[in-house]
A and B are shown apart, each in its own frame.
Chain A
Amino acid sequence: MPRVVRQAAVAWEGSLSRGTGTATATSSGTFVLPIDLPSRITDKPGKTSPEELLAAAHAGCYSTSLAGEIARAGGTVQSLDVMCTITLDEVEGKGHLIVSSELDVRARAEGIDQAGLEQVARKADEGCTFSALIRASASVSVRAEIAS
């Protein structure tokens, strides 16, 4: 299999608390995003953050994995809505850690029922590259339901 390489770049100026940066998608050119500390840790993120970028990565990775698993189980995907919530928390003695990633799925698919969906949703988690990695510091949970 070929190796696939993807690159992003950040330019940062100043200290952590007062400085600001810019994150750029170098490979695809699809985004240039400002970042700073308040957007990462407060309740009102006006800018993106590492955790939000990881949430987008996990939702993207998991949705491709689930699309593959539903087809393998004989179902046909019309659409999958996947929401990912990543939590950064301060853990005693360890500083800030990414502690959880929660995936919420609503699936429109033919040829698969709720029980079947729950089964492939677990398989998709096992097969998702990112789920496997992030378990180094975070718990991963998946809730999946058939959209009516």
Chain B
Amino acid sequence: MTQVAVEKKVLNENQILAEKLRETFRQNGIFCFNIISSPGSGKTALLERTLERLPKESRVAVLTGDLQTENDAKRLARFGFPVKQIITGGTCHLDARMVEKHLADWDLANLDTLIIENVGNLVCPTGYDLGEAFKIVLLSVTEGEDKPLKYPSIFFKSALMILNKIDLLPYVPFDAEKAKENARKVHPGMEILELSCTTGQGLDDWIRWLEEKRKSVMVPA
């Protein structure tokens, strides 16, 4: 009996495809990010508020994942940018193959931003690289401030935590400072923004954050 070393990532196939996507994005000058949260934390609302703030000539496109329905794509298509729904049919996360397939009939040379809204789930999307520049995790104040400790992987792997629905803070027993402290225990130095998609508070900071990130990750071709 012998032991032979394999030393491969379990999600090797996905990783290879994700690197290919990343290279495609780089060649086309596309800034891509992947938004992840529990169902109902406000991913789609954040994208609505984001898209409505962008100039009409922006070259942004959105892929939005759900188990069923085209509802989110319909909500987001109102802003006039290309939007495509990825219906996973039961799969709890997006993978690189789904992204590649749904990009097939878009002219990528015409885009400069690709937003991927993952399936509402704090666990399963974590391990699947989609070729994005970074992951962003949303947490809303109607959830528990211990979410980062209960679901550490996604908070560890995301560059930014957005604390959403802060307009509700006076009405819920959510300790925002504790939530931030928990996130930074899991991910030392994690960047955090607080905002409300209902009142608009914090949205300008979010748009500014995105522009700064774009500049820092996009190396001129």
Is this pair of chains taken from one and the same complex?
Answer: no
